[in-house]
Amino acid sequence: MTPIDPAGTVAVVGAGTMGQGIAQVALAAGRTVRLYDAAPGRAEEAARAIAARLGRLVDKGRLDAAGRDEALARLQPAARLAELADSALVIEAIVEQLDAKQKLFAELESVVSDDCLLATNTSSLSVTAVAGALRLPGRFVGLHFFNPAPLLPLVEVVRGYATDPEAADRARATVAAWGKTPVACADTPGFIVNRLARPFYAEAFRVHEEGGADPATIDAVLRECGGFRMGPFELTDLIGQDVNNAVTRSVYEAFFHDPRFTPSLAQQRLVEAGLLGRKTGRGWFPYEEGADRPGPATAAPCEPPAEIGWHARPPRVCAPLREMIEEAGIKVVGDRAPYESEWYITLPDGAALTLTGGEAATPGNGGPHIYFDLALDYRTCTRIALAPSEKASARDVQAAVGLFQALGKSVSVIADVPGLIVARTVAMLVDFAEDAAGRGVASREDIDTAMRLGVNYPRGPLEWGREIGLTRVRGMLWGLAQEYPGGRYDPSLSLRRRAAVEESLL
């Protein structure tokens, strides 16, 4: 793969936050940059803003003054599109409106040479549709940078239906030469990150809408048990509820109302009320000066059981628990050998404690059940969620709480929602990723890279699926599908096939 000529000019059209960020990335890579905006004076204003940011980097010791001055000498605001005629690459970052983008690129085609690479930074529109009116759509690609572009490493390189493979390769090589991490993907709604990230928000919102747990508790469980950097409620408050809801609705519409992408009514009500998050002072949480941020529901200290029963062999992800329980001084009675039956722990009064399988604890298999949530790593996680069935007594719940507290965990007892919080979220993320890989949206490596770098997931979803076991993920989804008929949780064909292969090798 050969990048564009390093001596060639890079033009950025649109001098807003994203356009400025892309321009700064190209400048940092040693490129000459022309910055254009249709609003008079906006390009010059943006150039001054970039200069100020580079100045702050100098103040922090991340850039020397000579490097700043040299970069600014290569930054050239343009007053007219005609000034972009000698560009080797033009990247558009204007308003997310299809007709506006089509009109811009039609004008650009009459200005730049035929070998100039044209790119859109769209995050929600079809790259194929934007290029649809062009004379030479083969040289058109999507280059989706993530905000803030100078800091975030990921760039999605999107192939439209008419994009020439050589153009996509050149675009990928170019952003790699700029120090970014490119991932190649097909022109599908949401590309990789915005398509695959929907369950992270949707499942949390659904648990809240069903009265399973409050936003602060759901966020805490996903952070402290699931290993995510931020919970979905605090993250959408940061992004803006209007922005996140718009992306969700866009993907939902683009997939012709596929139930897997159904938007959240609770989030829609926030948007209608103008409670958009940090930028308005209130969203899921309050941000006004002096406002008290609610904390997660955390169980009071309980006495751990002196002894527990251990039945059958646990799933691989739960394997460390027996050793952890014994290290905590709790006697474990039971065989380590595998059996036909599903693994569970017996509490002193006879209640069964086990990892959620996707179904609700009520009705259980006759007796009292308590489900616990999936963890990224049971040794290092600091919180666990429990969902007791209606048949579980207060003593049963206290014993389960005390057991996990003895392992050093904070415990959140939530309502009996199928799949709890982390397990249902991760199962859906794995399924979405398997589906995308099976449909050729992107390579398996690029899918995991995109989700780690684009949204800071602790693991790529495909890697996570391998760790959990695809047969168990499939089982969780089947359990959820039983509780929620309608297709939302039906495992994808790709996941079912790969789980069947995995099962045949066991």
Report yes or no: 191 and 185 within 8 Å, Cβ to Cβ: yes
Which residue among 87, 92, 144, 463 is the active-site one? 144
Tokens found for residue 88:
């080797």
Distance, CA of 475 to CA of 290 (rounded, Å): 46
Exactly one of 194, 244, 264, 389 is catalytic; name it.
Answer: 194
Task: Tell me if residue 203 is catalytic.
Answer: no
Given the residues 87, 92, 109, 123, the one annotated as active site: 123
In the structure encoding, which two tokens stand for residue 286, read together? 């309050």
Interatomic CA distance for residues 346 and 141, integer angstroms: 57
In sequence order, which ranges of 210-319 are alpha helices (DSSP H)? Answer: 215-224, 232-239, 241-254, 265-272
Contact assessment for residue 193 and residue 454, using Cβ atoms and an 8 Å cutoff:
yes
The string over 168-205, giving b where at least 16 C-beta atoms fall within 10 Å of a residue's C-beta and e elsewhere, is: bbbbbbbbebbebbbbbbbbbbbbbbbbbbbbbbbbbb
- Residue 120 β-bridge partners: 92, 142
* Phi-psi map region of 434: left, alpha, beta (phi>0 left; psi -120 to 50 alpha): alpha
Q: Is 311 a catalytic residue?
A: no
- Please list the helix, strand and coil fractions of the chain in percent, rounded to the nearest 5, in that order: 45, 15, 40
Residue 194 falls in the annotated catalytic set: yes
Of 92, 109, 156, 434, the catalytic one is 156
Judge whether 155 and 180 are in contact, CB under 8 Å. yes
Residues designated catalytic: 123, 144, 156, 194
